[in-house]
Chain A
Amino acid sequence: MSLLDDALLDDALLDDAMMPGAAAFLAEKPAATVDRAATDAGARISTASQNAAQTTAQAAPERDAQYNYAYLDEQTKRMIRRAVLKAVAVPGYQVPFAGREMPMPYGWGTGGIQLSASILGPDDVFKVIDQGADDTTNAVSIRKFFVRTTGVRTTESTAEASVIQTRHRIPETPLTEDQIMVYQVPIPEPLRWMEPRESETRTMHALEEYGVMHVRLYEDIARHGRIATNFMYPVLVNGRYVMSPSPIPKFDNPKLDRSPALHLFGAGREKRIYAVPPYTEVRSLDFEDHPFEVEKWDECCGLCGATDSYLDEVILDDAGGRMFVCSDTDHCAARRAAGHVGPMAARRDLKELADRTAAE
């Protein structure tokens, strides 16, 4: 829990005009980093009005000085950071926060966007994925928004990023202590499908009354011979709170367990923030005789030949022709750059697909 200690020790940080970058948030010795980042940030703010062209980070794009850094006002960012600290302190607990209306619609990732807006600093390198891909339309739109409002440097490489905002996937490349994952969450409440009332579900969490969740999984087995929940698969965090990992496929659930990275979950419409701190136990719910399993494919990635990544199905024609490709485009491109070749990589009619994913 070194992160929490750092964050709390660093309480003064909340009174700064600016939050230092997420990198500083995670740093071993935060003081020095914080000071530098805060100074950079301060300089950034004071010069922004006089000289919009001036930026502090080398090679970083210009930011739009008409808006506050990262769009939200400083009070709002501070409020969100407080919620983040609470969420980190109580892993898996859904912290209510006064979510704001963002210039993107609810359902487009406003929770994740508010989290990113509150933690991104000038030193960060930002990656945005949707369905595992960097060039899906909404990922492009969110990345553009932050480039415009923060001037943050962006990347498509998982390894280079310090903050990764995602919808529906966790990258295949293992995460590190220096990274923060930001999840866009539509329905934060894992018990919602059994109990529609928030007042009830909050009580159930308080009392650790999770029997209903196991009953549901049991009913799946009784009816279908297997657990038929494939995404948003419930997990038990730190042995205490049942949590929805957001609509990632259950394939990605094991990546959360004792992950070195900090995982932040934001639900804008439902106004909840929750977190899985680094190295926290995250157990997918199951039964002794029906252990948790992830999806398997008979095929490999048609482009890079990977057999251990999550695959998307691509329909090739209207006669049943299909192929499978890595959902994580960065992972796929990196493998192909390293010389891995899938069975369909040479097909001319798929050149556009291969080029597009390679370009990332």
Chain B
Amino acid sequence: MRELNNINNFYHDDKVIDACSLFGMMDTSGKQFSGEGVVRAIANMHIRGNGLGGGFAVYGLYPEYAEFYAFHIMYLSHEGQAQVEAFLKQRFYVIHVEEVPTKPTPAISNPPLVWRYFLEVKTEETKGQSLDDYVVEKVIEINTKVKDAFVFSSGKNMAVFKGVGYPEEIAEYFCLDEYTGYLWTAHGRFPTNTPGWWGGAHPFDILDWTVVHNGEISSYGINRRYLEQFGYQCTMQTDTEVVAYAVDLLMRKHGLPIEIVADIMAPPLWEQIERMPSKEQNICRTLRQVYGSLLLNGPFTVIIAHQGEMIGLTDRIRLRPLTVGIKGSVLYLSSEESAIRLICPDLDRTWIPVGGEPVVGSLEKPLIPQEVAIAGGDGI
């Protein structure tokens, strides 16, 4: 703990404020905006993190390559890079390659190499697999078989930028002021029981599914073993990774809507199930039987995002905070309301959602969402 204190606490007393910070902002009309506000908002929750992880997911930032899988890959060595690039050339048509632009940032030390690749699947290689399944398989192959390479993101028209540092430092390092997107999520990390390393920063992702998380998934072992049956291999040494693979499995592969996914990850308590009408009771019991191994135990708030959608969800007894704000067509999700107010003082509405009930922003259903406002109120 002494080391953490020195990083986090320049007053050198014994107070360590420990909690991750989450922020998400989506314009449900699809309008692109710069990340300037998002960076200010996440930086406003600076004290929740300790500089051992910061990251961003941005959607809609590569319109010129929108139809290609955009791989962001971190390399710890040039050998790793050479190996991966040879692998990519075999499995994909490489449309464009470049190093992800960075600028020297005093706080960022020993950064790995980060490159991006815009890829088209060689359909003759897929052997009947869907393109997405093929990509998932290749990502996991890189993560597990190449020693010094980790895929940061692999979706279309989206990217993850992350590393060791405070989120505002990571934003500066990766020149995020040069990108625009219609959906941004951000994370400041306070690692509790796993290492603070570049691959362990949030968001975690597969394809275009990203997750930022505050809390601790104590069911990690069970979740991980279940996901392994479907070919997902955890390599990032952090609990949150399972949530990214779980949403890919449930929402993309099994085609389940978020309301059902919420009932799998944060199911109603048994005594609540017993009070439900029989049809809903059957659904909840069935979900528990089929997907019991994807129940996320322990405290969590997550912001899940993918192409066109941003979702906030907490555990069923809400052991981690989440506040929602709405202004026009823009949806904000945050660990703290103050971070939203800083960049949007005149919100139309703000509320604190009930545990286990998802808050959804979608391009298909531009605001207003249908959630019941529980700890609502008219704000200022």
Q: Do A and B come from one complex?
A: no
- Interface positions of B (Cβ within 8 A of A): none
- Interface positions of A (Cβ within 8 A of B): none
